[in-house]
Amino acid sequence: MNASDNQSGYDPKKYRTPDGAPSDIVIFTITSTERTTAKKALPIRELQVLLIRRKEWPFVGQWALPGGFCKETESMYECALRELQEETGVTDVHMESLNVYSKPGRDPRGWMISHAFYALVHDKWLAARRADTDAIDVRLFPAEEALRMELAFDHRDILRDALNKVREQMLTTTIAKEFLPEEFTIGELYQVIRTVVPDFEEPNFMRKITSTQSRKGIIEEAKDAGGQPKMSNRYSQRPAQLYRFTDWVPRLSIYS
Amino acid sequence: MNASDNQSGYDPKKYRTPDGAPSDIVIFTITSTERTTAKKALPIRELQVLLIRRKEWPFVGQWALPGGFCKETESMYECALRELQEETGVTDVHMESLNVYSKPGRDPRGWMISHAFYALVHDKWLAARRADTDAIDVRLFPAEEALRMELAFDHRDILRDALNKVREQMLTTTIAKEFLPEEFTIGELYQVIRTVVPDFEEPNFMRKITSTQSRKGIIEEAKDAGGQPKMSNRYSQRPAQLYRFTDWVPRLSIYS
DNA sequence: CCAATAGTGTCTATTAGACAATATCTA
DNA sequence: TAGATATTGTCTAATAGACACTATTGG
């Protein structure tokens, strides 16, 4: 539908309109690299961000967040999903709206109001893509390193906001599950949380999450067909109980 | 600047571009009406939303969220602030980004990607405006009632999202201060919270907020010039201690 | 045995949760 | 004095926080 089709006398052509509605996507993942020192040890994990290297004007050669222009036939969310799929091949993913970025002059191409999203993608989806990384100028960067880079547009602002948000969400929601396999050990979970929020320290982590009344519903023990607890010794000599997230999230409050 | 001024060969006119970038603002306030039964009693408070009645196509005569089109020289946030100022006269206000609304066909005028904000405004700012309410077709509606109304565009979706967000924020941040005077009693604070989140119940509220280690920094006692605690008997026979918010907000976590 | 992670015991201080009791005013 | 809100007392159970300790098993 073209807007001027209507019978209302409203004519959008009378007004200066935006030159495009791009979306930018901050794609986070946590990479796991096995430690060389010992076997049976937790891998080294790192929070990474996917960046692409621009081939076209403006900011040619600079690293930028993936993204692209919205079409009239899709929502901004669908647009971001599509771009995400085109960049990474990932379809089923946790993606949320972040903020709008619209400071005048932010885009040399014209008046561009960008909407940013952040997505959490499991490492396994990006593994294939990472392999031929240098060739296609799509790379993962450690989040902190990317923050120090000179990115195209106002993408550093976007990245900073996304990082703040993902850190907050890591502690207040169960997004940790996006970085974990279906079944995981307490050690893995703790490590994932600490990878995103380094200053999170909780010596009694296991006890708190498994046996305090107000939190024990967040995760549950994984059991096999026979109802026996499932264990894993992938990361430790002593087999560890496997857990899975339930779909319950406690309601937080600063007042209670 | 017009986009086609650049030397890049990029021409936004080649693409279908949005027909406008509107912002919509969900303006919340809490009204206080004195109880007629007794004096010296807490007023009846209610969470309200400001709606305007549309005079122009489309959705003529229907109630809608205030908002308007963004100009090329301002950011979406500035646009929303400006619209808010035009609607309510309020300038200094707590406003946050909510989400983008961009479902194709959401606006009969054309391809309009709207960005919604929500703002919290103290009753006192809207009091004058409320007076001549019927005349200008700007009114406050109880939030729950507004949710059941048939609003223009997808404004019901926006309102629902805003209501969910303000409820979450009420419990996890100190936005309660936006609805309170600088100095307030514990009773007032509790009432404001319950006005926004009716199922929040905390029998030991006062004790928790004043004397638990992890929370006592959220508010502090108000003291007069001589260092004596300031009391108020506005809402009670027995004078109550006045408090003020500090600028500290505890970090919440489902894991600790 | 050592290394590395999993998980438990234990002790004290703090907090939660539920009610009862008392305090301080005004009308 | 009755009524309304403020504030404290009290008791039990749960949780926090710190640290030491035991468990399991590959190498």
User: For A153-174, what is each residue's pLDDT tens digit?
Assistant: 999 999 999 999 999 999 999 9
Structural domain boundaries in chain A: 22-172, 175-245
Cβ atoms within 10 Å of B141's Cβ, excluding its own: 18
Q: Is the pLDDT at A7 greater than 60, yes or no?
A: no
Least Cα distance to A18 among A100, A153, A114 occurs for A114
- Residue A124's pLDDT band (cuts 50, 70, 90): confident
Whether the CB of B193 is below 8 Å from some CB of chain A: the reply is yes
| Residue A192 near residue A180 (C-beta atoms within 8 A) | yes
Half-sphere exposure of A204 (CA within 13 A, CB side): 6
For residue A4, what pLDDT is reported? 44
For residue A12, what pLDDT is reported? 66
CA A229 from chain center: how many Å? 31
For residue A2, what pLDDT is reported? 45
Q: Is the pLDDT at A132 greater than 50, yes or no?
A: no
For residue B128, what pLDDT is reported? 64
Task: Give chain C positions with protein CB within 7 A.
Answer: 3-9, 14-19, 23-27
For residue B35, what pLDDT is reported? 76
CB contacts < 8 A, A to B, total: 175
Which residue of A lies nearest to B248 if distances are taken between CA atoms? A254
| Residue A187 near residue A236 (C-beta atoms within 8 A) | yes
Distance between CA atoms of residues A248 and A179, nearest Å: 18
Pairing of strands B114-120, B22-33: parallel
In order of A73, A156, B82, the CA distances from B56 in angstroms are 26, 41, 20
Mean pLDDT to the nearest integer, A196-223: 93
Whether the CB of A16 is below 8 Å from some CB of chain B: the reply is yes
Q: Which fold has domain B22-172?
A: Nucleoside Triphosphate Pyrophosphohydrolase (3.90.79)
For residue B41, what pLDDT is reported? 80
- Residue A179, classed as helix, strand or coil, is helix
Q: pLDDT averaged over chain A? A: 90
For residue A10, list chain B residues with Cβ-Cβ distance below 8 A.
Answer: 57-58, 109
Query: Which pair of tokens denotes residue B204?
Result: 């030991």
CA A81 from chain center: how many Å? 12
CA A202 from chain center: how many Å? 24
- Longest Cα–Cα distance of chain A, Å, equals 75
Whether the CB of A215 is below 8 Å from some CB of chain B: the reply is yes
- Please name the residues in contact with B46: beta carbons below 8 A apart, sequence gap of 6 or more: B30, B31, B33, B142, B195
Q: Which pLDDT tens digits describe chain B residue by residue (256 residues)?
A: 444 445 566 776 678 999 999 999 999 999 988 877 656 788 889 999 999 999 888 999 999 999 999 999 999 999 999 998 888 888 889 999 999 999 999 999 999 999 999 999 988 887 766 544 444 688 999 999 999 999 999 999 999 999 999 999 999 999 999 999 999 999 999 999 999 999 999 999 999 999 898 898 999 999 999 889 999 999 998 999 999 999 999 999 999 8
Least Cα distance to A24 among A154, A164, A177, A127 occurs for A154
Distance between CA atoms of residues A171 and A164, nearest Å: 11
Query: B211: which nucleotide lies closest, measuring CA to C1'?
Result: C15
List the beta bridge partners of residue B221.
B243
Distance between CA atoms of residues B56 and B140, nearest Å: 20
Q: Is the pLDDT at A183 greater than 50, yes or no?
A: yes
Mean pLDDT to the nearest integer, A218-233: 94
Is B20 close to A17, i.e. CB distance below 8 A?
A: yes
Residue B185 is given by DSSP the state E
Q: Which of A4, A76, A109 sits opposite B100 (nearest CB)?
A: A76
